[in-house]
Chain A
Amino acid sequence: MREAALWVSGAFLAFLATAGAFLLLANLGTGPSETNLTPDPPPEESGPALELTLNRDRLASLRALPGQELAVGVRNAGGEDLSDIHLTLEVSSENTALSEARYYRKTIEELPAGRRVDVPFYLDLSAAVSTASSSATASAVPEPPRKIIEVRATTPGGVSTIKTAIVPV
């Protein structure tokens, strides 16, 4: 009886020793490579296919008057020709309580790859007619509001870009 117990213990010991040896070998083989992992670099970003340009000197010369000309430069920086480029220009006040946003829209029918075109806009940058409520809101802001000119260019194919200028006029 005692001899049988010894045989069983011996068999169990042999099993444990073999399993342990296999585990040790498995860890020795794979350990070091895991520490050298580095995150994948991000995919290289490509620039927007459409580029908008607002001339700073011209922006600086704008006055709070109607008929102010501003040329928006549009460049097709992609590799394919673009058509039906919709330009939307919004003129608004820095004072968000004043409802005086004005919108201007133009469309470029064709713009070949690599080409640039200037699109003129004639903006009314005069202040909206003063009302009692605008006087009240003006009293809440102790400094003259600047104008915000936001230009968006979009194509039916989903290409879009945006530029925003803050102009002290």
Chain B
Amino acid sequence: MRSRLPGAVCAALLAATLLLAGGCLRPAEETSIPPLPAAGEGVNPGLGPEAQPLSSGPGYKGSPSWSPRGDRVAFTVDGYVVDRPVRAGYTRRWTTKDFVAEDVEWTSAGGLAILGSASDPVPAAEASSSVYRARPGEGSLGVREISTDVLAMSPGQGGESLIVALQTGQYGSELASLRNSGAVDRIYTSPIGGRVTGLSLSPDGRKAALAVRTAGYPASFELHTFDLRAGTHRRVARLEEGLEIIGAPQWTREGICYVVGKEEASGGGDTEPLYDLFTVAPDSGAPKPTPGVGEDFVASSIRVSPGGEHLAVVGRLNPQAPINLYVLDLAAQDIEDLTVNEDMEIKTGPDDLAWSPGGESIAIVARGALSEEPRVHAAPKGSLLEDFYNLYEVPVKGRTR
């Protein structure tokens, strides 16, 4: 009897403790109540539920570029340059409204490198432009010309420098490296026999891929690689007559990808794609259709991801399909659509898409289908989206397999 008493006491203590613990537990059904959506929420820009607008209001927008920290995006509006915070905030103008910018790139110092022309005379389509530097907080809408006769530009590794293709003579080009201050770091004296029409760097920043239009008539297009350390370049591929390289070739971890444009067949009824996507190994010289996109894919513009493993493509699965934004996993040869286009026009210019620095998002430019009829909205013009070309952020993270 004496030996059983401590055991009974312990059992009773345990039971009481369990009872207390049970009493303190919260019922499983007691969950948080989701808030009701606020009035006016749920913007559906016609690109799918995940696309979020980065701009609004009138203006012909293009050439988006993310800041190095990914918190702001710069772009052109009717030729001039603005930027704004990605999440919320006011638009900031960087140039006067008579500026005509073709391309905008952020530098590591938080400034912008702008390819374009400051004012009249109106540049001809074939003319070279200048590169201007703009810094935040200068407040005067002033830009400083740091290089003339520029055919194309690309930010250097880490945004510390700028690689530009300069026009030399009527049909020649050469490359130069500029510091963010505008000072010339290096001029590569190896001449390029033709006009550089597109330029981008390899993922390690040591080499450049160039689209080159050669002299003569009819002109032909070539793909060159340029070793920025050795200062040498070589031709990788030469396109057939009547074909051209659209935009800048993109140096990926699986080779150099580029869009080839074909002249439209006369007579109509031709279902052959107008734009094909090709890949060539930097040292093989044997281009082949980029695997993973499908035989009928029509590519318009491409941009390599920051790591070089993925390629953002604006294009169509076939000539009759709607235009959408896709991401191609180059190693897995797998393409995935990121937008669900519902009667939107996605801009297809070579510079009209941009990866965020971390590769989580892609900025594209789109608007609703144009109408000949007037449209009336119960909203101020500055808040309208589909009626004008506007920027949209399309998330990528978790979508690529």
* B380 and A96 contact, CB distance less than 8 A: no
A142 to B379, CA, bound (A): 27
* B375 and A135 contact, CB distance less than 8 A: no
* B59 and A133 contact, CB distance less than 8 A: no
Q: What residues of chain B lie closer than 8 Å to A166, measured between beta carbons?
A: 374-375, 377, 384, 387
Q: What residues of chain A lie closer than 8 Å to B77, measured between beta carbons?
A: 96-97
Would you give the shortest CB distance from A153 to chain B, in whole angstroms?
Answer: 12
Residue among B27, B39, B98, B375 making CB contact with A31, cutoff 8 Å: B27
Task: Determine whether B60 belongs to the interface, using a CB cutoff of 8 Å to chain A.
Answer: yes
A17 to B22, CA, bound (A): 12
* B374 and A140 contact, CB distance less than 8 A: no
Task: Determine whether A159 belongs to the interface, using a CB cutoff of 8 Å to chain B.
Answer: no
Interface centre among B80, B374, B384, by most chain A C-beta atoms within 10 angstroms, is B374
Task: Determine whether A129 belongs to the interface, using a CB cutoff of 8 Å to chain B.
Answer: no
- With A13-B16, A35-B29 in contact, do A137 and B374 touch (Cβ < 8 Å)? no
Count of A-B contacts judged by CB separation below 8 Å: 155
Task: Determine whether A46 belongs to the interface, using a CB cutoff of 8 Å to chain B.
Answer: no
Interface residues on A, range: 35 or more
- With A60-B373, A97-B79, A140-B78 in contact, do A20 and B20 touch (Cβ < 8 Å)? yes
Q: Which of A60-85 contact B (CB under 8 A)?
A: 60
Q: Mask for B68-100, Cβ within 8 A of A = 1, else 0? A: 000000001111100000000000000001101
Would you give the shortest CB distance from B348 to chain A, in whole angstroms?
Answer: 13
* B59 and A16 contact, CB distance less than 8 A: no
- With A35-B29, A59-B376, A97-B98 in contact, do A136 and B120 touch (Cβ < 8 Å)? yes
Interface centre among A17, A20, A99, by most chain B C-beta atoms within 10 angstroms, is A20
Interface residues on B, range: 35 or more
A148 to B19, CA, bound (A): 72
Q: What residues of chain A lie closer than 8 Å to B230, measured between beta carbons?
A: none
Interface centre among B17, B58, B378, by most chain A C-beta atoms within 10 angstroms, is B58
Would you give the shortest CB distance from B12 to chain A, in whole angstroms?
Answer: 5
- Chain B residues within CB distance 8 Å of chain A: 5, 9, 12-13, 16-17, 19-20, 22-24, 27, 29-30, 33-36, 39, 57-60, 76-80, 97-98, 100-101, 117, 119-123, 371-381, 384, 387-388
20 contacts between A and B (CB under 8 A): A13-B16, A16-B13, A17-B16, A20-B23, A27-B27, A94-B58, A95-B59, A96-B77, A96-B97, A97-B77, A134-B98, A136-B98, A139-B79, A140-B60, A141-B78, A161-B378, A165-B375, A165-B376, A166-B374, A167-B374
